[in-house]
Amino acid sequence: MSAETVVADSNSKAVPGATKAGNSPEPGSPSRIKGILIAALVVLALAGALTWLHYRNQVSTDDAQVDAHLFPVASRISGSVAEVLVNDNQAVKAGDALVKLDPRDFETRVEQARAASAATHGNSPEAAIAKANLDAAQLQLSFATIVAPANGVVTRRSVEKGQVVQAGQGLLVIVPLDNVFVTANFKETQLAGVHPGQRAEVTVDTYGKTFRGHVDSISGASGAMLSLLPPENATGNFVKVVQRIPVKIVLDEAPSESAPLRPGMGVDAIIFLN
């Protein structure tokens, strides 16, 4: 074998770690794995930074629910129920008749007061008293028809025909679905930058839909202080617990009829600090 052949054979051997394209690392080489790890760490760092920038100017809680000012309906006079005009979960409008009491006793009192008023003459004290009695009797008669104080839905109906009710006795509750808001119980450590007027968003669990609103007000006390049995930290062993403060969020637009918000529905609330 000639010297030229030996030299040619030695030059044709592959150099370890080299590829056909040149001196770039092989797919399984340590340098390529190191490069992939560095790229992954950079991507994770960027994602973490973007997440921090996104959430640093907002506070959120899932301890929130739809709320409303309910209207308890009670009888203003004592009497026997002659007719119940509504059922549970029935929609009513302000001024609609809900319950009628037997008016005969009150009509008799009106006639008696009217006769007494007619028997008096002029501007005497007796005439003034008789007129006042007539006005009072007519007012009592008007209370025999119990009407809805606001638009809403009837719930917790506890009155039936023939029942004898007393003055002040609760008969049912009106839930105003067109005037709801959200009560969000934020941790006290989240409220340093929260104030009325800030933009908010609430996502209702029932629909998975997000509604826009704004912070209306912040409660003057924590939920624990407003409970039936508020904590008494001056007695016994004390364990510090982060308190929650109710925040009222008002919706910017009334919910649609296809997705009504009912008091008690769970929501996730977000307040944007800037």
Q: Boundaries of CATH 2.40.30.170 in the chain? A: 59-68+179-272
Residue identified by tokens 């912070």 is 215
DSSP state of 190: G
Span(s) in the chain for CATH 2.40.50.100: 71-175
The CATH number of domain 59-68+179-272, selected from 3.90.1150.10, 2.40.30.170, 3.40.50.300, 3.30.70.20: 2.40.30.170
Helix axes 104-119, 125-142, angle to 10 degrees: 160
Quote the pTM value. Answer: 0.74
What pLDDT, on the 0 to 100 scale, is given for residue 120?
A: 86
Residue 79's nearest CA partner among 161, 11, 6 is 161
List the alpha helices (DSSP H) in 17-93: 30-55
Contact criterion met (CB below 8 Å) for 25 and 17: yes
- How confident is the prediction along the chain (274 residues), in pLDDT tens digits per residue? 444 444 444 444 444 444 444 455 566 677 778 778 888 888 887 777 666 665 668 999 999 999 999 999 999 999 999 999 999 999 999 999 999 999 999 999 999 999 998 888 778 889 999 999 999 999 999 999 999 999 999 999 999 999 999 999 999 999 999 899 999 999 999 999 999 999 999 999 999 999 999 999 999 999 999 888 888 777 777 888 899 999 999 999 988 888 899 999 999 999 999 7
pLDDT at 252: 93
Residue 196 has, within 13 A of its CA and on its CB side, a CA count of 6
CATH class held by domain 71-175: mainly beta
**Distance of alpha carbon 128 from alpha carbon 114, whole angstroms:** 12
